[in-house]
Amino acid sequence: MRLFHTSIANSQQLNNWAEDEVRATFSPGLSVRNSALGGYGLFFDSHHIPKQQNWDGEILRIPAGSVLSLETCRAIMRSCKQEKTQTLTFIQQCLKSYCSEAHVVSESYILVAYCVAFLVLGRLGSLSDLQSPSARFVGRYLDILMETKVHNLNNDDVNLLLAYVSEFPGNTLVQEVVRRLHNGVSSRFAGLIDEKLLENKHPGILSANEVIQIETAIRSRELEIPDVCSSTKGGQGADFSISIKMVPILDFANHNNDLVNAYYDIDRSNNDVLLKLDPESFKRQAGQVHEVFISYSPVEEATRFLVTYGFIPRNLDSTPTFVDVPFWGHFADHKTENERRKYPNVLFAVRSGVDGRIDDVRICLTDKKEVLSLMRRMMEKDDVTRNSEQETLSQFVTVVRNWLGEYTERLKRYKTWADAQKLEDGTSKNICELVEFGIVMAEKFAARYQEETRVEKQRNYSALILAARDDHEANEWDSLRLIPDYNEEEEHIEG
């Protein structure tokens, strides 16, 4: 059986890697092909859906030893030949050096350090010093990661990003990207490997852009996968722990919450990672060969998806795409720094049509008391409490609408300026996707406001609000909100 379609370059080598090194087992209906979304995707031929009633949907199995996790990386490192102490020391020094740059050392951060170390060892011809069977698939897998194109902000022109965070302070996700790029974290790490760890014996073996590429590829493809604890393995009441993992082949599956027709799971007996099809969802989609979609996250926030995965979802039937917009900077003259950092931004819910264009925009509220609280702080009036709920709601929606008008103009000015900038080789302007999305979203909200308030006696401000249905949904929405960070740009960029 061949997994990689013949239209993919080096398909024969990739097929050998999948079968001999990853040791993947898969349905004959599964294939890796070029996706209309860009890059590769997983596809399945519905003719290969078994007819038996008790089929559990499994179409792909990746052995636990072929999953790249911290546990796997440690096992690979511990398998170093005793006489190859330099190889072991090199991996340890990479971990120490890279993680020393982090504000918070996460699993993702450590995984990046391991992968950079393995990449360099592969180029030095030293991966064979690592005797773990898991080391067999790493070399080719890193080649795939180095070719993975993610259109996020990591390759954007730093000056464009600096101008963005200066004009639109408060977006902590973009701020963190700028901090790392502007501070040259990746450049320092590549330089340290070249000059200190390898003592300038292999000049140019790793560039800063290659470090950024590994960071980008890992963070866009990592999954939170459960592990069955060894003490309860195989039992019905097994205990689980969640860890970050890179799963070869499975990570070709693209995200679409509207078309999701598969999900990943584990085999409780051995921690193999499985991809399972939902046959009913699959059959409802037209055609015989369908793309397999999983969900990267059931709740999507525009900035988080662009920063992590390189795209902004456009949802139809499922939950809307959320957009958390830094808002309190607009009231900077009236609030103390502590107040502006304490309170949340404004969260919008966006739905799109079949053509991908935005059809509807609403303000998300987790609690109607929030409107009253927001209005009291914005209007600096204690008598807001004496207004009716409808009056307070109308005041709040109108304030947001008026602010969005100014916000739209600022976005347009930035976009005009950014479009005129010439880029250095290898850099991009992906921040403009977020800007364009913001412009269209704000204009659509303005149109909706005009539509709902055109007739004075029939004004329906509630139609511009999306209220959480229950505490669970409210907590989900609150988890999307960014911590406002209006007055610390200088510290982040310089420090």
Residue 69's SS3 state is strand
Q: What are the backbone angles phi and psi of residue 290, rounded to the nearest 5°?
A: -115, 155
What's the confidence (pLDDT) of residue 367? 67
Alpha-carbon Rg for the chain in angstroms: 25
- Judge contact between 49 and 29, C-beta under 8 A: yes
Q: Parallel, antiparallel, or unpaired: how do β-strands 254-255 and 293-294 relate?
A: parallel
C-alpha 275/C-alpha 250 separation (Å) is 7
Q: Which long-range contacts link 136-142 to residues 24+ away (Cβ below 8 Å)?
A: 136/21, 137/17, 137/21, 137/22, 137/23, 137/66, 137/248, 138/68, 138/76, 140/13, 140/14, 140/17, 140/21, 141/17, 141/22, 141/68, 141/246, 141/248, 142/115, 142/118, 142/214
Q: Parallel, antiparallel, or unpaired: how do β-strands 465-467 and 358-365 relate?
A: parallel
> Taking residues 230-257, what's their average pLDDT?
80
* Mean pLDDT taken over the chain: 85
More confident residue, 172 or 99: 99
- Any idea which of 188-197, 241-250, 319-328, 436-445 has the lowest mean pLDDT? 319-328
What's the confidence (pLDDT) of residue 318? 64
C-alpha 43/C-alpha 154 separation (Å) is 29
* DSSP type of residue 352: E
Residue 152 tokens read as: 């996020």
The answer on pLDDT for 327 being more than 90 is: no
pLDDT digits (tens, 9 = 90+) for 466-484: 888 888 888 888 777 776 5
User: If you count them, how many residues does the chain have?
Assistant: 495
> Taking residues 342-365, what's their average pLDDT?
82
Q: What are the backbone angles phi and psi of residue 324, rounded to the nearest 5°?
A: -95, 115
- Judge contact between 87 and 121, C-beta under 8 A: yes
- Judge contact between 158 and 208, C-beta under 8 A: no
Cα distance between the two ends of the chain: 53
C-alpha 195/C-alpha 292 separation (Å) is 45
The answer on pLDDT for 31 being more than 60 is: yes
More confident residue, 375 or 275: 275
Domains defined along the chain, listed by start: 11-66+247-294 (2.170.270), 68-221 (no CATH), 300-494 (no CATH)
Return all residues near 402 (Cβ < 8 A) that are at least 6 apart.
Answer: none
Q: What are the backbone angles phi and psi of residue 406, rounded to the nearest 5°?
A: -65, -40
What's the confidence (pLDDT) of residue 103? 75
pLDDT digits (tens, 9 = 90+) for 190-215: 999 999 899 989 999 999 999 999 99
What's the confidence (pLDDT) of residue 74? 94
* DSSP type of residue 200: T
> Taking residues 423-442, what's their average pLDDT?
90
> Taking residues 53-57, what's their average pLDDT?
85
What's the confidence (pLDDT) of residue 418? 95
CA-CA distances (angstroms) from residue 158 to 63, 171, 175, 418? Answer: 41, 16, 11, 12
Residue 181 tokens read as: 């790029």
Q: What are the backbone angles phi and psi of residue 362, rounded to the nearest 5°?
A: -140, 155
Q: What percent of the chain has pLDDT over 70?
A: 86
pLDDT digits (tens, 9 = 90+) for 35-51: 998 889 999 998 888 88
- Any idea which of 59-68, 324-333, 439-448 has the lowest mean pLDDT? 324-333
C-alpha 221/C-alpha 241 separation (Å) is 20
Q: What percent of the chain has pLDDT over 90?
A: 50
- Judge contact between 42 and 248, C-beta under 8 A: no
Reported pTM: 0.86
- Any idea which of 8-17, 236-245, 428-437, 471-480 has the lowest mean pLDDT? 236-245
Return all residues near 112 (Cβ < 8 A) that are at least 6 apart.
Answer: 98, 214, 215, 218
The pLDDT confidence band at residue 261, using thresholds 50, 70 and 90, is very high
The answer on pLDDT for 255 being more than 80 is: yes
C-alpha 316/C-alpha 356 separation (Å) is 9
What's the confidence (pLDDT) of residue 211? 94
> Taking residues 235-251, what's their average pLDDT?
81
The answer on pLDDT for 233 being more than 60 is: no
Q: Parallel, antiparallel, or unpaired: how do β-strands 25-26 and 240-246 relate?
A: unpaired
CA-CA distances (angstroms) from residue 478 to 281, 343, 400, 441? Answer: 30, 12, 19, 20
What's the confidence (pLDDT) of residue 483? 62
